[in-house]
Chain A
Amino acid sequence: MRKQRPSITLNILVLVGALMMVFPFLWAFVTSISPGAGLSATPQLIPENPSLSAYAELLQRLPFAQIVLNSLILAILTTVFQLVTSSLAAYVFSRMPFKGRNAVFAVYLATMMIPMQVLVVPLFVEMKSLGLIDTYLGVLLPGIASAFGVFLLRQAMNSVPQDLDQAATLDGAGHFRIFGLIVLPLVRPALATLTVFAFLNSWNSFLWPLIILRTPAMKTLPVALAGLQGQYTTQWDIVMAGSVVSVLPMLALYIFTQKYIIQGVAGTGLK
């Protein structure tokens, strides 16, 4: 099957399919530079009078730079926290046996099955009693640990041969040094995968920030975008300009990390 060279028709079909995946992004961009798009007619693929006025208006009506910054800082902090907390826990589950460790690991895994929706009401109440409604800390806290991250890194650490630790022990190294100097550098690909996943998840997360953030200037990109649509129901050029702005950083990250993302996803299915 794989030996045959695929026919021209197949090549064309795959290409057409790929264009269908890309076209909506392209169309969003074209719309964003067509002033007054969607008011009376479908915009043209090549706009007659392209203009960046929608972007200017977006910046004027929304603290857009601030919102992008909010999303960025939250995503970076979430990622850093998840990398630290997950790798530390993964090291224990891979290298430091103790009584009841399997049970503790099972509890970690079980938390992966609990959907965010179940937690929303009590988390909201919890944050309210802590006075964290409408604060960045309130958005951040529920995401600083990730059972998925622990699982991913434990798998990776298990495949690092133990004789390295052993030699280090003979040299007098403790667990902190083995963790930092030997194990972590050897699981870099898994750390990269977790970095990308954590960043993407935070960047795109919607339900929790929607619930906990109130002040317009504190909102994250997805929340602000969803609100944008309510305000400018018919001004599609503005709504699409907002979409383009929120896709661009993602796109940049994606181009450079594609390999890790796709490997990470492919790996999850092959367990």
Chain B
Amino acid sequence: MTALQDSRSGNPGPTATMKRYRGPGIQRKATGPRLKYGLTVAAFLIPSALPLLFFTIIPMFSAFWISLNQWNLVGPMKWVGLGNYGKLIGDPGTQGAFLHTVYYIVGYLPLVYIGGLAIALALNSRIKGRSMMRGLYFLPVVTSWIVVALVWRWLLNPSTGIVNWLLGLIGVTGPGWWTDPAWSMPSIIVASAWKDLGFVMVILLAGLQAIPEDLYEAATVDGAGRWRRLFSITLPMLSPSTFFVIVLSLINGFQVFDQVYAMTGGGPNNSSQVVVQQIYDLTFRYGRAGEASALSWLLFLFILVITLIQVRGQKKWVHYA
């Protein structure tokens, strides 16, 4: 190890002469060592490559195969071609599940973004106890969705929950929340936004901290006010972080499941049935694995297309420094 420490503390000798150095194997290029090099690469890669192959890549393709069949998980498969896809697209239950998922995203994203931005802006100033505050806002992020769902189910309990009790104090009769078809999605949205607020805040805060201070100074000299600086400097400079938050929120939003399962199970009256809950129900409640696989592929393609559209569209509004 002493030789290593030497080179670290600035012995420029070998570094300068061998600029194109690419590792020990490449350097000794005889045939024996070459085989050894190949084996070493394999030994390093196989522990991750095999699991990814068997538990991600192959299942991905077999899901497509299953989606072309009618199958109840136990009996024989019956080939139906793209029939499952056609059936799903015309199925009101599936359409409803997509609609509720979109409803979730439309409610959740503005709430979590504007909330996260407000907190990030506040924490980016010289506020008291900054890192403590940051830690508190981030706390729900590390909590499991199931705990979040259970706790919020209790907070939003229509008869004895504290939210309706507090509303009662100001003379408002609180809604039935997750027991009311009109309020089940809003309940899930509020709980989810509460959990993810800290995540969005941390991403945006990192973005804010990367904005050069002199931009603000120059703008202030030019007489720009607080709001002007927010809209002309902060938001445009923050656009890469915003883009990241939106892409990630949409990907995760379309896959919303845990909190729905634990808060409402898709009810009442299917009012909060989302796509992944539908996949789960089709497979494990109704034994329609073919349709479930078709739906999961539709969901995957849907997410892929939406992500690609965003990546293409980012040129119009995302400014990379």
Interface residues of A (CB under 8 A from B): 1-2, 4-6, 10-11, 13-15, 17-18, 20-22, 24-25, 27-28, 31, 37-43, 84-86, 88-89, 91-92, 95-98, 104, 107-108, 111, 113-126, 141-142, 144-147, 150, 162-171, 173-176, 178-179, 181-182, 200, 203-204, 206-207, 210-211, 221-223, 225-226, 229, 236, 239-240, 242-243, 246-247, 250-251, 253-254, 258, 261-262, 265-270
Contact = CB atoms under 8 A, between A and B. Distances in A.
Contact of A122 (B43, B66, B124): B66
A236 B203 CA distance: 35
A175 B144 contact: no
Contacts of A258: 135, 138
28 contacts: A2-B125, A6-B125, A21-B137, A24-B140, A38-B154, A38-B160, A42-B161, A89-B48, A104-B45, A108-B48, A111-B52, A117-B255, A117-B257, A121-B289, A122-B59, A145-B49, A163-B7, A164-B8, A204-B143, A206-B146, A206-B261, A207-B280, A222-B144, A236-B157, A239-B154, A246-B146, A258-B135, A265-B203
Interface centre among B4, B119, B194 (most CB of A within 10 A): B4
A118 B139 contact: no
Interface string B201-212: 011111100100
Interface stretch (B81-89, B103-111, B290-298, B309-317): B290-298
B55 A123 contact: yes
Chain A: interface secondary structure?
helix
Contacts of B285: none
A77 to B, nearest CB: 13
A161 B229 CA distance: 40
A111 B44 CA distance: 19
B304 interface: yes
A147 B60 CA distance: 15
Interface in B12-54: 14-15, 18, 21-27, 37-38, 40-41, 43-45, 47-52, 54
Contact of B27 (A11, A169, A262, A265): A169
A111 B56 contact: yes
B136 A266 contact: no
